[in-house]
Amino acid sequence: MSFLSSAAAGARRFLSWLPLAALILAGEAIFFLPFVVPRVFRPTMLDVFGVTNLQLGVAFSAYGFVAVVAYFFGGPLADRFEPRRLMSTALIATAAGGLVLSQIPGPSALLWLYGYWGASTILIFWAALIRATRQLGGPALQGSAFGLLDGGRGLVAAVIGSLAVEAYAWWLPSEAESTLAQRADAFANVVGLFTVVTVLAAVLLMVALPKMLPAAGSAAKAPLGRGVWEAGRMPVVWLQALIVVCAYVAYKGLDDVSLYARDVLRFDEIAAAQASTYSMWMRPPAAIAAGLLADRIGAVRATWISFLLMGIGSTVLASGGLYGHALVWFFLTILSTSAAVFALRGLYFAIMQEGHIPLRYTGSAVGIVSVIGYTPDVFMGPLMGYLLDSAPGRSGHQQLFGVLAIFSLVGLLATFGFGQLARRRASA
């Protein structure tokens, strides 16, 4: 009997974690095709698709322009409809784009594909993901919930990314002997791998995530725009948006790791992709540790500490002081800076609770925050492309890290402002 009781207790614990696990897989799988693939295989994509950094950056901008509109309209939808159905539909639609990417389309088709992904990954997914996570965390465990979400997403990305690099190397005869056609075939196979995982994430989400119906009463019957109006009246929402902008600029800047490894450190394509995965491996421990710390000292305080560390690391890299020293010091700086960036990703929605944003307006607030906060999807791609193409080699990378240092300072100041407003709302 005791064995059966222990087994039953273990099964209950497993089932209690399963909804969060489904959210974690879905939350990263939705971005495998548009972002994880180019992050890990950026040099390969440039060669196989025959595009420049600027052209790829413009494709990212097409994604960003569509996403900005999708964030705004997706927020109220998340407050009105069941999250798991919204998110599962989005995953299937995104996976369909993988079939197009695997055909190695031309630059113009790539532009349209990224615009399509801007809608499929955001409109009926992003705000629903944040709302579901906030509900699972409850009032007391917001830091842990969002830290586990982003840390778990990072673990999924790192594992799948590492496996994809190994699979890509296996599909190639050898780095030295491979032709462009063989590299294109290997890349298409990798895209197929990511597409399958995206579909599986949709299935798991429908099975594992419980129904989360919208709030009953006046909030559910109010017009869709009411939540946007109420959330827009809160100054903390706008400061949170600025915090997300600054953190997301740094996150997008990490796309430079594999290209830096190839262009400056002279790594081959596989080694450069591996260097990028090393940075990605910092995401799980950093986000989870930041979330746990946030539940102890407060999410706002943990956020400004992360901005401070990110600013220090970015300033060191921008100064060029490490370029003449051993590579190990350079990578230690990259990894520590990456840890601060990924910590912020686990925190910048956890601060909603301290900002006293009502749960019933979560989706609408996320919509406003995201419309502004994820504008780096629009401008960071072309900016990175311009900096790296106009100043090839070391100087272009230094300029890029200088941009990250500036946004770190702005984010630090915005976080202090958010904390002040949150304390006023608490005492009001």
- On whether the CB atoms of residues 241 and 369 are closer than 8 A, the answer is yes
393 burial via Cβ count (<10 Å: 0-12, 13-18, 19+): exposed
Buried b (16+ CB within 10 A) or exposed e, 103-112: ebeeeeebbe
Amino acid at 202: A
CA geometry: angle at 164 spanning 377 and 133, to 5°? 50
Retrieve residue 294's tokens: 């946030």
**What pTM, to 2 d.p., does this model score?**
0.72
Q: Nearest-CA neighbor of 130 among 417, 369, 342, 298?
A: 369
Dihedral angle of Cα 358, 362, 367, 372, to the nearest 10 degrees: 60
Q: Nearest-CA neighbor of 347 among 287, 296, 404?
A: 287
Provide the pLDDT confidence category of residue 412 given band limits of 50, 70 and 90: very high
- State residue 371's pLDDT score: 85
Inform me whether the pLDDT recorded for 385 exceeds 90: no
Q: Nearest-CA neighbor of 376 among 348, 398, 404?
A: 404
CB atoms closer than 10 angstroms to residue 192: 14
The 10s digit of each residue's pLDDT in 151-198 is 888 888 878 888 888 888 888 776 556 688 888 888 899 999 999 999
For residues 299 and 352, give the distance between their C-alpha atoms in angstroms, rounded to a whole number.
9
Tell me the C-alpha to C-alpha distance, in Å, between residue 104 and each of 167, 253, 367, 417: 18, 25, 33, 46
- State residue 15's pLDDT score: 42
The residues near 394 (Cβ < 8 Å, ≥ 6 apart) are 264, 320, 323
- State residue 118's pLDDT score: 94
The residues near 65 (Cβ < 8 Å, ≥ 6 apart) are 115, 118, 378
- State residue 249's pLDDT score: 94
Q: Nearest-CA neighbor of 190 among 163, 158, 168, 157?
A: 168
The residues near 274 (Cβ < 8 Å, ≥ 6 apart) are 162, 165
Q: List the alpha helices (DSSP H) in 213-347.
A: 218-221, 224-232, 235-253, 256-263, 269-280, 283-297, 299-319, 327-345
- State residue 224's pLDDT score: 57
Inform me whether the pLDDT recorded for 322 exceeds 60: no
Q: Nearest-CA neighbor of 281 among 406, 156, 189?
A: 156
Dihedral angle of Cα 311, 396, 63, 240, to the nearest 10 degrees: 10
Inform me whether the pLDDT recorded for 343 exceeds 80: yes
- Please give the average per-residue pLDDT across 134-139, as a whole number: 75
Topology of 14-427 in CATH?
Answer: Growth Hormone; Chain: A; (1.20.1250)
**Per-domain boundaries in the chain:** 14-427
CB atoms closer than 10 angstroms to residue 187: 24
Retrieve residue 356's tokens: 């006293």
The 10s digit of each residue's pLDDT in 239-298 is 999 999 999 999 888 887 777 777 766 777 677 777 777 777 788 888 888 888 888 888
DSSP letter, residue 216? P
